[in-house]
Amino acid sequence: MVERKLLPFAQGLYFIMTSLWPLLHLDSFLQITGYKTDIWLVRTVGILLFPYGLLAIYAAFSKKNAIVGVVCGLSCFGLAVIDLYYYLAGVIKWVYLIDCFLQSVFVIYWIFYVITNKVNNKFFD
């Protein structure tokens, strides 16, 4: 695997693991992340994040594609903003700042991924 593809692969694994975690063992998820009142929402977010993990892994093993970079980058940006906002509002635990940091690293990667996209992609035309 080429070095530049290590980060999307890591993101994909991270998304898959964190999306499946509340579905497979909710108790340990809540112990680390804090009590939640809407368990259905925790599980829904897990289910919705799973395909983004698959998309990031796909990006790690395929040619550069602008739309994949934009989608992956926007998902990370949204998660980072949510993490920071709700932590600062006192709604979620400090552990979400770790996720915010990781999401920010992923966002920076995807920005460079899209900017350096050399494929003849009609996405931006």
Among 73, 67, 69, 71, residue whose Cα is nearest residue 121:
67
Residue showing tokens 């009609």: 122
Environment class of 45 (CB within 10 Å of its CB; exposed 0-12, middle 13-18, buried 19+): middle
pLDDT score, position 118:
60
Under a CB-based contact definition with an 8 Å cutoff, are residues 11 and 76 in contact?
yes
Q: What is the pLDDT of residues 53-72, one digit of tens each?
A: 999 999 999 888 889 999 99
Q: What is the pTM of this model?
A: 0.87
